[in-house]
Amino acid sequence: MSSTEPAAAGGNVIERAGERIADVVERWMPSPFLFAIILTYAVFAVGMIVEGQGPSDMVLHWYDGFWAFLTFAMQMVLIIMTGFVIAYHPRVNDALQRLAAIPSSRHQAVVLVGVVSMVLAWVHWGLSLVVGAIFAREMGKAAFRKGVDVHYPLLCVAGYMGLGLTWHWGLSGSAPLLLATPENEFVELGIVDGPVGTSATIFSTYALTLTALSIAFAAIVLYLLTPSPERSAEITEYVAEEELFEATPDGGTDEGASDEEVIDEPTPEPEADRDEGPAPADMIDDSRVLGGIIALTGVAVVGWQFWSQGLDALNLNVLNFAFLFVGLAIYTQPAVYRERFGEAAEAAAGIVLLFPFFAGIQGMMTGSGLAETMAEGLLAVSTTGTFPVIAWLTAAVVNLFVPSGGGEWIVLGPSVLEAAQDLGIPIGHATMAYAVGDAHTNLLNPFWAIPLLAITNIRAREMFGYAITMLLALIPFLAVALYVVPY
């Protein structure tokens, strides 16, 4: 059933709400690029109305912002590309296919994809985004083969849940990692005396408790949201049926198989050239020894960082360095690793295009004073008890316009941390409460879903109705959790 058809009677309240919202969103939601352009005009107008800026001032703020976070943008691209390369390793893909064979019902399929995505996002958001997308596609294929009617758009949302809930509480969370980075912006501004270690943020009991509770609650909502068979649109409505039975090197289907042979074995040379053997250059390119030594050196450097500094060694640069060399250690062959990075570039292409536009939006919000006005207005009504909830809402609202956790934190962080210190709220507490707001409204803004859309062959408007339903269902839960869970 197409999600544009009227919802049938029956089903639980959440299931029916999901169908109705999905129908509206599929009719009206623009593509991610147009979404960014529309938001650009919206912030342009609001900046003039609220802050009294002239049109030329707003245009200049927009231009200045375009290139403000090139370093951070490169860090984000590396996160997604290193995650992509590891996710597409044959052994990882084989493990996903084996996992996809486990569920025997549509509810189990959706929940398993969601839980895997959310757990992986805590480890590495780029890995979660890519693995979640691949897993959603593999689960759709496995369900089709077994005759299980599962709604493919909801599977895709489940694969995206890590970006929409848990990533900013985890090891690749931009706000806590920026605070942990030596000589960061907040130290230079005098807001904090020195780096704030991840033991006070990511590894705090508060953040770990929120992560566990949120995964459990989201899994329940995904279960209730799963449409009945007659309302489900299978993967065949989005992916060509012949792609569901792709050939493997042994001539069978791809189910449960590994294509490692394709990666490890070189392409046969023409008969005339075989007697000469491989060229020295090819031997160097394919050398597992050279690749393995540099990979192990990089892994050893990361190990030394944690050995000497403990968990507080973790920051954005260490994270990217670690995944870059872990990936090389998995593949070992430098030439193959380079080829996989070339493939990963396609998944990052949409982010490379859209990041400057959202940076431009951020430039308008910062240059005009709009971001500070919004943050101060929300934080002004907070108390010691309600501050975590207000910090979450502040991040959630601004993330609608600037879906960049680190860039947004650079702009809003000073206001959030200064307000927290005035109220006696620990910096780690304020940061992690803020972090979930930045993640939460990724379920409305399709910016970070671009790689997932490409992998799953689905359009944003076909899946984001269910993503928005998840966003709405999480609001009362997060409000209560942030208010009740002690730091």
pLDDT at 19 over 60: yes
Query: Does residue 330 fall inside a structural domain?
Result: no
Q: Is the CB of residue 50 less than 8 Å from the CB of residue 370?
A: yes
3-state secondary structure of 261: helix
Query: Does residue 452 fall inside a structural domain?
Result: yes
Residue 190: how many other CB atoms lie within 10 Å: 8
3-state secondary structure of 80: helix
As a three-state string, the secondary structure of 452-474 is HHHHHCCCHHHHHHHHHHHHHHH
pLDDT (0 to 100) of residue 63: 92
| Distance of alpha carbon 226 from alpha carbon 482, whole angstroms | 27
The mean pLDDT value for 42-54 works out to 92
Query: Does residue 333 fall inside a structural domain?
Result: no
| φ and ψ at residue 227, rounded to 5 degrees | -70, 155
pLDDT (0 to 100) of residue 88: 77
C-alpha angle with apex 441: 239 to 132, nearest 5 degrees?
Answer: 35
pLDDT (0 to 100) of residue 65: 86
How many domains, the chain? 1
Query: Does residue 135 fall inside a structural domain?
Result: yes
pLDDT one-digit tens code per residue, 203-218: 999 999 999 999 999 9
Query: Does residue 457 fall inside a structural domain?
Result: yes
Q: Is the CB of residue 180 less than 8 Å from the CB of residue 197?
A: yes
Range of the domain at 105: 13-265+340-484
pLDDT one-digit tens code per residue, 340-393: 888 888 777 877 888 888 888 888 988 898 878 877 787 788 888 899 999 999
| Distance of alpha carbon 114 from alpha carbon 472, whole angstroms | 17
Give the HSE-up count for residue 236: Cα atoms under 13 Å, Cβ half-sphere: 12
| Distance of alpha carbon 453 from alpha carbon 270, whole angstroms | 39
| Distance of alpha carbon 135 from alpha carbon 290, whole angstroms | 32
Is 0.85 surpassed by the pTM of this model? no
Q: What Cα–Cα distance (Å) separates residue 464 from each residue in 226, 236, 329? A: 14, 19, 37
Query: Does residue 271 fall inside a structural domain?
Result: no
Query: Does residue 243 fall inside a structural domain?
Result: yes
pLDDT at 263 over 60: no
The runs of H, that is alpha helices, within 310-404 are 316-331, 334-368, 370-379, 387-399
C-alpha angle with apex 149: 143 to 151, nearest 5 degrees?
Answer: 95
pLDDT at 194 over 90: no
Name, in order, each residue with C-beta under 8 angstroms of 411's C-beta and a sequence gap of 6 or more.
362, 365, 366, 371, 372, 398, 402
pLDDT one-digit tens code per residue, 69-120: 777 778 778 877 887 788 778 888 888 889 999 999 999 999 999 999 999 9
pLDDT (0 to 100) of residue 262: 40
Tokens of 448: 């970070």
